[in-house]
Amino acid sequence: MAELPTSPLSPDSACKTTLYPRLCKSMLPNYGSNNLYNYGRLSVQKALSNAFGFSSLIDRKLKNRFLIPNNQVAALRDCKLLADLTTDYLLNTMATLNSTDNLSGAHADDVQTLLSAIVTNQQTCYEGLRASSPSNDLYAPLTNGSEIYSVSLALVTHASTPRERKRKQRKERGLLSELKVGRDGFPQWLSKEKHRIIQAGKRMLLQSDSVLVNDTVTVAQDGSGNFTTISDAINAAPNRTDVKNGYFVIYVLKGVYEEYVSIPKIKWNLMMVGDGINQTIITGNRSVVDGSTTFNSATFAVVGQGFVAMDMTFRNTAGPEKHQAVAVRNGADLSVFYHCSVEGYQDTLYTHSLRQFYRECDIYGTIDFIFGNAAVVFQNCNLYARMPMASQNNVFTAQGRTDPNQNTGTSILNCSVTASSDFAWNSSSVNSYLGRPWKEYSRTVYMKSFIDSLIDSSGWLPWSGDFALNTLYYGEFNNSGPGADTSKRVSWPGYHAIMNVTDAGNFTVSNFIMGDVWLPATSVEFHAGLDS
C-alpha cells in the first residue's frame, strides 16, 4: 500500500519520488521523519528562494545590457519575464500549501499546473539563451533551478490526494452557469448588444443571466470606437479582475491590425471579440532569422489568466524561409480561443504553458506548428498543413514535456487533420507527420479525429535518433480517414494505439484540463467527455 501524504516518511523514501533524489535529500531536513506534504512545502520554500535569486541575477545582467550583443539581450528579457512569472506562481503555490494540510481537488490541480509551468519557464529561458550564445554563466544556475523545481513538482504532486471531478467544484470556485452562443457565433448577450455598443461609442455595463460583463470597449481603426489600437484598449483594462465580477470585453471591429499585441500577467479575464475569421485580423512578421527569439516572435502573446478570444484571425507572415515565426504565444491559465484562425508556417501556435482550450479554430503551419508544453485540448478544430520549404517535412505537433510529473500534453479531439487548399494538390510530394518528440516526455494524443491521406503511414517522426522514444506518450484513439490506419505506425515503446474508453478519457476536457469547472464562465461551447 502506498504511503499516505500525512504518514511519517524519511527523506530517503520521500526523495525516491523525484528525478533528483540526491538534490532532494539536500533540500530536506536530515533528521527524523516528516510527512510528504510537509516535505513538499519545504521544497517550495527552497524553490521560492532560488527564484528570487535568479530574478535578481538577470536584473544585474540587464543593467549591463549595453555590453551584451542584442540577441542575448532579447533572450535575457524573455528570461526576466519568465522569472517574474515563476516567482508569482511559487508565491501562489506557497499560499495554497500554507492554507491546508491536505491538498486535493481543484487546488491540487492548480498547484500541479503552476509547478509544471515553472519547470517549463526554466526550459524556455535556457533554450533562448543557448540559441543566442554558446556559453553563458547563467546556464549553471538555470540548470540548478530546473532541478529544484522538478523536486518540488514531484514531492507536491505525490503528496496530493486524487482529485474529485464533481459538479460541486463549480461552486467551489464560484464560477457561472453554462452559457449559450447565438447563431452568429457570438455570445447571446453580445449578439443583441453589439451594434448598440458601436453606436453609443462609450463604455457600457452589461449583465445577463448567462454571463457577467464588467465593461465593454470598442476598437476601430476609423476612430469610431473607444480606441484605434488593440494595445491601447488592453492598457485601459483594469488589473487583476475576478471573473466573478465580469469580463472586460474588447470588441475589435473588422480590419487588418498591424500591431504586436501583448496581454501582460496583470490583465485578468479579458474577452476579445472580433467580427469573424478573416474580418478582424492581427498580423506581424517577426522571426528568428530576422533577430527575434522564438518566444518573442509572436504577433499576439498572452499571459493574463482567464483570457478569451473569439472570431479573430492571428497571423505571422514571415514565411517558411524565416524559420521559427510564432503567430500566437499563449501562456495564460484557463484561456480559450473560440472560432479563431491562427496562421503561420514554422512554430505557428506556441501553447507555452498552463491550461488552454481551443474550439472550432483553424490552425495553419508547416514544421512543429503546434508546439509548447501546456495542458491543452483542441476540440472541433481544423489543422491545416501548408507547403514547406524544399526538403522539409510537415510536422503538426512538437510537444515539450520535460518532466514525468508535469500534467501537460496536447489532446486533439474530434478535429480534422488535412492539407490547406493551396497545398492539397501537391501534398503527396511532402512527408507529413502527426508529431515528433521535442522533449523527453513529449505527450500528444489524437482522438476521434479525421486524418487525411497526407499523413505518412508511420504517423510519427523521430526528433533525433532514439531520443525520447521510450519516454514519450503518443496515442491514437478511434480516428477516421485515409491517414488513420495504425497498422503501419511506429513501433516505439511510447506509442499507443489506445483501445479502451477509460484510457482515452484521461485526455478529455473534463479530466485533462478540468474544463467543466472553468469553461462555463466563458460562454464557449464544449464537450466535457469524448462525445462530439
Q: Write out the catalytic residue numbers.
A: 368
Q: Which amino acid is at 372?
A: G
Compute the CA torsion angle 11, 12, 15, 19 (nearest 10 deg). Answer: 150
Nearest to 355 by CA among 503, 234, 210, 517: 517
DSSP per residue, 25-47? HHHS-SSS-EEHHHHHHHHHHHH
> How far, in Å, CA of 435 to CA of 399, rounded?
8
Total residue length of the chain: 532
118, 407 Cβ separation under 8 angstroms = no
Angle at Cα 351 formed by Cα 370 and Cα 470, nearest 5°? Answer: 65
Q: Which residues pair with 382 in a beta bridge?
A: 362, 416
Q: Which cell numbers in the block locate residue 249?
A: 470585453
Rg value, the chain, Cα: 23
* Coil/strand/helix, residue 181: strand
79, 86 Cβ separation under 8 angstroms = no
347, 368 Cβ separation under 8 angstroms = yes
